[in-house]
Chain A
């Protein structure tokens, strides 16, 4: 079963960019992941599906400021022109057959 690893926190200034990383475990570097955002006190929200090729497919209404990319076993979420409402926890999700796994989440702070 795959494991996904995320750093616990990241911070950046209002209007700048931040790049979050989700790293797939050995033997699972080609896996597709999904990124989710969870604002404080709210349910998670699907942001995008991201392939190992770097191709991503965003959910409805997700701002253009959110983009995805990949390199080897790493899957990235970049938030450009950071806004106050982007302060949230970000989780990656992957799966293997009928089993699923979430990363531990990265807390993004907007300075």
Chain B
């Protein structure tokens, strides 16, 4: 069974760094894309970026390029999302999702439970 388990909620101050995780199980980790998605309070889903752990090949949304870093550790089948200097506007729920690819179409088929990040002074 494919499972994505995300790290717990975080409360941070502006300017602090943060690294949240998404630990995968039940499939061959290096060979599937994982995406990060932001959901601000009361808002919709925003694609942040993708990583293919086996290369790793990483693509960022222009909206998030330079603002976050996506990485993976194959030894612990975990994908990370990190900030070097948080802002209050980074307060949101963050989801990871694993893509499923069929006939050239790759879609978010498995979702993590989400990690809530709060940034406040």
A residues with a Cβ closer than 8 A to B are: 32, 34, 36, 38, 43-46, 49, 51, 57, 59, 89, 91, 93, 95, 98-105
Contacts of B114 in A (CB 8 A): 43
Given contacts A91-B44, A102-B47, contact A43 B111 (CB under 8 A): yes
User: Bound complex: CA of A90 vs CA of B46, how far in Å?
Assistant: 14
Asked if residues A46 and B59 are in contact (CB atoms below 8 Å), the reply is no
Output the least CB separation between B64 and chain A (Å). 12
Asked if residues A105 and B107 are in contact (CB atoms below 8 Å), the reply is no
Interface centre among B102, B107, B108 (most CB of A within 10 A): B107
Asked if residues B46 and A49 are in contact (CB atoms below 8 Å), the reply is no
Contacts of B111 in A (CB 8 A): 43-46
Q: How many A-B residue pairs have CB under 8 A?
A: 61
B residues with a Cβ closer than 8 A to A are: 35, 37, 44-47, 50, 57, 59, 61, 95, 97, 102, 105-114
Interface centre among B46, B61, B106 (most CB of A within 10 A): B106
List 13 additional contacts besides A46-B107, A46-B110, A91-B45; criterion CB under 8 Å: A32-B105, A36-B45, A44-B45, A46-B109, A57-B102, A93-B45, A95-B106, A98-B50, A98-B57, A100-B47, A101-B47, A102-B37, A103-B44
